[in-house]
Amino acid sequence: MPKKPLKIKYSDLYGLREEKYKFLESHDIKNTDWQELELKEPRYFFVPKDMKGEEKYGGFLSIKDIFYYFQAGATTGQDKLFIDTDKESLRIRIAMIFNKVIDDNQLDLSFQLKKSQAGKKLIENRNRVNFDDKLFKFYSYRVFDTRYLYSENKFLWRSVEELQKQFIRKNMALVMTKSLSTLFFRHIFITENIGDYSFISDKTREVNYYFPFNLYESINKKPIFKSQARLDLASVQKELDEYSEDKKSNIKTEIIQKLSDVYKKRITPEDVFYYIYAVLYSPIYRQKYNEFLKIDFPRIPFAKNFVLFNKLVKLGEELINLHLLKSEKLENLSAKFPITG
């Protein structure tokens, strides 16, 4: 006898605890109002999802297919030790790590290092590296909250050596998440510095990924990814100073060429970068594709004509300059904050 197709039904209940108890006392499986779920490969969501427009959205280009390289942000494991708004205060703390007079136990008393794996990593490596003043870097800790980081990879709990190399010279990066644990997509920002794993969100599932605009490669022309031998940042800086031509766009060449062919105009990597930023800030885009933005990297719809594309490019550039606090519009604001601090 053939088996009947499996049906999955769903119901949820909101309100105060007492109201929920009353409902459960008077309802059972038979008289509860159920919603039948339509399960689809590959994710099989066991909650209701509004997947209207899935086929159209799936035809857009994923952000991960537009850029050559992207990486999650850094995690120090000891923010109070390695990050500060004041560079000199941070320098004093870092000097304690390299002070041979201060033993591991004394250092642990000051910073409670042995309570975490990150602290144990620091203790293990503190005598294996030397102090380097060049490792004090601007650090995008949170949105509009730039601090200083001591970026010794042998100390950081989750080091991002490859990503650090992208910011030794002038660069910028889009920061976004792959999935959401919150209800609505607002997870996109811009930075000119290496940044934190929790730069735009500190939710566990909302890992912050960095998509640099430029890619810097080493003198030997090998890509600066995990297969490459480790290089200290000072040596990389020297190489990049001498070989600035080793810079290339992180946006895939075939994307630039395809858009140039479609629009019959010369499209630049900057155009695509700004366009993406504008699209991801579009209220219509966010509302229309909200369910899809919760479950994977954003997909980008490209305008059918150059006029609309170029309009969004200009809006994206303007928005980036505003968010980087570089816009001329910020020079004559009516709102003032005359108090220091």
Residue 248 pairs with which residues in a beta bridge?
Answer: 215
Question: At a CB cut-off of 8 Å and minimum separation 6, what does 296 contact?
Answer: 62, 178, 179
35 with 117, same domain: the answer is: no
CB 154 within 8 A of CB 125: yes
Whether residue 107 lies inside any domain: the answer is: yes
Full-model pTM = 0.81
Residue 67 inside a domain? The answer is yes
Say if residue 5 is preceded by a cis peptide, omega within 30 of 0.
no
Q: Which pLDDT belongs to residue 54?
A: 79
Residues 217 and 82 in one domain: no
Tens digit of pLDDT at every position of the chain (341 positions): 566 777 777 778 788 888 888 888 888 787 887 777 676 766 655 565 666 767 899 999 999 999 999 999 999 999 999 999 999 999 999 999 999 999 999 999 999 888 888 888 999 999 999 999 999 999 999 999 999 999 999 999 988 889 999 998 999 999 999 988 777 899 999 999 999 999 999 888 888 999 999 999 753 444 444 444 445 565 555 555 554 558 899 999 999 999 999 999 999 999 999 999 999 999 999 999 998 999 899 999 999 999 999 999 999 999 999 999 999 888 877 777 677 65
User: 240 lies in a domain?
Assistant: no
Three-class DSSP category at 167: coil
Q: Do 213 and 314 reside in the same domain of the chain?
A: yes
Domain final position from 159, 191, 206: 159
DSSP string, 97-127: HH-TTS-HHHHHHHH-GGGSHHHHHHHHHTT
Query: Distance between CA 198 and CA 57 in Å, rounded?
Result: 27
Residue 2 within a domain:
no
- Inter-CA distances, 52 with 3, 39, 49, 55, 285, Å: 30, 14, 9, 8, 13
Query: Partners of 10 in the beta sheet?
Result: 35
Going by C-alpha positions, the residue among 207, 181, 165, 180 that lies closest to residue 69 is: 165
Beta-bridge partners for 212: 173
| Any domain includes 171 | yes
256, 295: one domain: yes
- Verify that 151 and 164 share a domain, yes or no: no
Q: For position 46, what pLDDT does the model report?
A: 56
Residue with tokens 């950081």: 156
Do 221 and 289 fall within a single domain?
yes
Please state the domain count of the chain: 3
Q: CB of 302 within 8 A of CB of 259?
A: yes
Residue 23 in any domain: the answer is yes
At 223 the pLDDT is: 47
- Choose the final residue of a domain: 135, 159, 183: 159
Per DSSP, 219 falls in state T
Say if residue 315 is in the same domain as residue 176: yes
On whether both 69 and 88 belong to a single domain, the answer is no
Residues 214 and 313 in one domain: yes
Q: Are residues 180 and 306 in the same domain?
A: yes
Task: Tell me if 118 sits within 8 A of 77, measured CB to CB.
Answer: yes
Instruction: Report pLDDT for 229.
Output: 45
Range of the domain at 23: 9-49
The answer to whether residues 265 and 319 belong to one domain is yes
SS3 for 1? Answer: coil
